[in-house]
Chain A
Amino acid sequence: MRGSAEAHELVAPGSLDAVLELLALEPGQWTPIAGGTELMVAFSAGRLNAPKLVSLWGIPDLRFIETTVESVAIGAGATFLDLRADTVLAAELPLLARASSWIGSIANQSRATIGGNLVNASPAADSSPALLAYDAEIELVSVRGRRRIAYREFHTGYKQNAMAADELMYAVHVPRRFARHRQYLRKVGTRRAMAVAKVALGATALLERGVVREMRLGAASLTPFPTRLYRTEAALVDQPVTRETVRAAREALLGEVRPIDDIRSTVEYRRRVAANLLEEFLLELRQERAQS
């Protein structure tokens, strides 16, 4: 059944403050719509459960990318084409630039926003593994003010997050201290550009004389919501990257991931692919060590 336009109200107050006022007045009543590449698909299919929508598209206060010494601030309304065009992201945060190029076609990337990707919270969201690996922070905003939380604490359950009913996502802050880290991002899916991820792993690692000092692993499609793989990280930190470490890390990962069972692929397949991706990254680290 196709959705009926008459069944939904849509307003466009045009400024961030005006949207926040509306959310504060009737918390939980209004659904924000940014690029609409999630919500309009649901609308077309007649399964959009949102009688009142408020547009964020075209609000300049939400669409920016600003660089400071410590971090890059990406407005929640920045599109993935905006991210791909940013030179600092391309040079210093290549995992995020690469993930941006995966979010569907050019016509999709010109509308799809980073805020929409994260708030929609698909377990397969393509920007999540990179943002987890980079230890990003999320800035939320409401009439009550702004607050920041670690991205790793943003998702709290399947399709649940730490935002209050009167809040919007304002920005994503990505620290610029990863230049010396080894970085990795790979997604295994049926069709690279257009398919929603089957399994994706993002990673940053800092090594000192062959010993892992820092390790951050971000996964998509391996857990009911995007999350760090803390137990696998713990199996690696303060260890030299030996065969034994690789084996222990594989074991930890297999014990840690629990993909939601859906038709996209079997749980066992995903777990094995994830373990192989991890091993691929760790072997890269070993090789670099051997060469240096």
Chain B
Amino acid sequence: MSARRSAIHFTVNGERRAVQAPPMKRLLDVLREDLRLTGTKEGCGEGECGSCSVRMNGELVNSCLVPALQAEGAEIQTVEGLALDGRLHPLQQAFLERGGAQCGVCTPGMLMAAAQLLDHNAHPTLPEIREALAGNLCRCTGFIRIFESVVAAAAAKMDERASEAVLEQAHNAR
């Protein structure tokens, strides 16, 4: 076998980490096996389901399609890095309160995709939420509770009236 292990350095959830891994090892497996960050899930392993979504240098990526070496020097954020000082992220709180998670396999990826959306667009419309989450499949919830959770999380920062209108829009889409 030609490939040796390489030392790969990156920042994960704000902490500098180094692993010894074959350079083609999937970032997903490095996170789960080498760093024991098992919040990130594997669904399809083909880029289709989004269960493995994490943020890399500020962009949402599917970690099943990232070879470890391409994460060298990167800033990675996983679902474990969403909560701050033991307080749930507003999205996590909203998913909890509104049934946005059932079996939970899709949830970490869904949260990361939603966090990415809200960081760039604090007041997303329903079509914008749909597009942002189009790469994240859920077999359980039928999506509406997920969309509602995202709206509710955004609403935590939104002015009261605007949030009511969008919530109604989401409700009417049922």
Contacts and interface: CB of A to CB of B under 8 A. Distances in A.
Interface stretch (A41-49, A86-94, A131-139, A145-153): A41-49
A58 B132 CA distance: 24
Given A5-B25, A107-B135, A110-B60, A40 B65 contact: yes
Contacts of A240: none
B interface residue count range (under 10 / 10 to 19 / 20 to 34 / 35 or more): 20 to 34
B70 A36 contact: yes
A111 B59 CA distance: 9
Given A6-B22, A11-B23, A108-B62, A44 B136 contact: no
B3 interface: yes
A190 to B, nearest CB: 14
Interface in A1-52: 2-3, 5-12, 33, 35-37, 40-41, 43-45, 51-52
B88 to A, nearest CB: 23
B53 interface: yes
A12 B72 contact: yes
Nearest to B42: A44
A105 B136 contact: yes
A44 B23 contact: no
A53 interface: yes
A41 B65 contact: yes
Interface string B99-139: 00000000000000100100000000000000110111000
B3 A5 contact: yes
B47 A193 contact: no
B39 interface: no
A55 B71 CA distance: 11
Contacts of A8: 2-3, 22, 24
A interface residue count range (under 10 / 10 to 19 / 20 to 34 / 35 or more): 35 or more
Contacts of B29: 5
A10 B69 contact: yes
A81 B59 contact: yes
A26 to B, nearest CB: 13
Nearest to A43: B24
A184 interface: no
Top 3 A-B pairs, shortest CB-CB distance: A105-B135, A10-B23, A40-B65
28 contacts: A2-B45, A6-B24, A7-B1, A7-B3, A8-B3, A9-B3, A12-B23, A12-B69, A12-B70, A36-B65, A36-B67, A41-B46, A104-B135, A105-B136, A106-B60, A106-B113, A106-B134, A107-B47, A107-B60, A107-B62, A107-B135, A110-B59, A110-B60, A111-B61, A193-B131, A193-B134, A194-B48, A194-B135
Interface of A: 2-3, 5-12, 33, 35-37, 40-41, 43-45, 51-53, 55, 57-58, 81, 104-108, 110-111, 193-194
Interface of B: 1-3, 21-26, 29, 45-48, 50, 53, 59-62, 64-67, 69-70, 72, 113, 116, 131-132, 134-136
